[in-house]
């Protein structure tokens, strides 16, 4: 099955700096890659996603890039703010028929933004 590796496990940055979280996946058939943010004591929430027919996607201060050849995708957060502090999870899924949707998550990155 799919295996998603995520690095680093913890990341500490100063407010205003950029943060980058990297993930690799094992199944070359995977074609949907979402990122979820989980604040302390809260539920995970989708922040951005990308499909394999797109190399990069941006939404204000966050962006995701995908390298299908290397089976690698990354989350970029610019101008970080204290409210960006949370655990970020990458995930991968194969888009197949039959309403079969298995989303495999990485182990998460704890991002701390220091004021």
* Site residues for other proteins per CB under 8 A: 1, 32, 34, 36, 42-46, 49, 51, 89, 93, 95-108
Nearer to other proteins, 2 or 78 (CB): 2
CB of 23 to other proteins, least distance (A): 12
| Residue 63 dihedral angles phi and psi, to the nearest 5° | -145, 150
Nearer to other proteins, 47 or 113 (CB): 47
User: Which residue is it, tokens 């996946």?
Assistant: 25
CB of 14 to other proteins, least distance (A): 26
Nearer to other proteins, 14 or 53 (CB): 53
| Residue 9 dihedral angles phi and psi, to the nearest 5° | -80, -30
Between CA 49 and CA 64 the distance in angstroms is 8
CB of 51 to other proteins, least distance (A): 6
CB of 113 to other proteins, least distance (A): 21
Contacts of 41 by beta carbon, 8 Å cutoff, 6+ apart? none
Nearer to other proteins, 60 or 100 (CB): 100
CA-wise closest residue to 60 among 80, 44, 37, 87: 80
CA 75, 76, 81 angle in degrees (round to 5)?
120
């Amino acid at each position: 099955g799919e295996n998603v590796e995520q690095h680093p496990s913890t990341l500490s940055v100063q407010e205003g700096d950029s943060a980058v979280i990297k993930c690799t996946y094992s199944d070359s058939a995977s074609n949907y890659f979402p990122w979820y943010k989980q604040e302390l004591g809260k539920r995970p929430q989708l922040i951005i996603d990308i499909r394999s027919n797109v190399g990069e996607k941006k939404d204000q201060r966050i962006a995701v890039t995908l390298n299908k050849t290397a089976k690698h995708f990354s989350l970029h957060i610019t101008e970080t703010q204290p409210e960006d502090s949370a655990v970020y999870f990458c995930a991968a899924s194969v888009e197949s028929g039959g309403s079969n949707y298995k989303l495999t998550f990485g182990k998460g990155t704890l991002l701390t933004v220091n004021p």
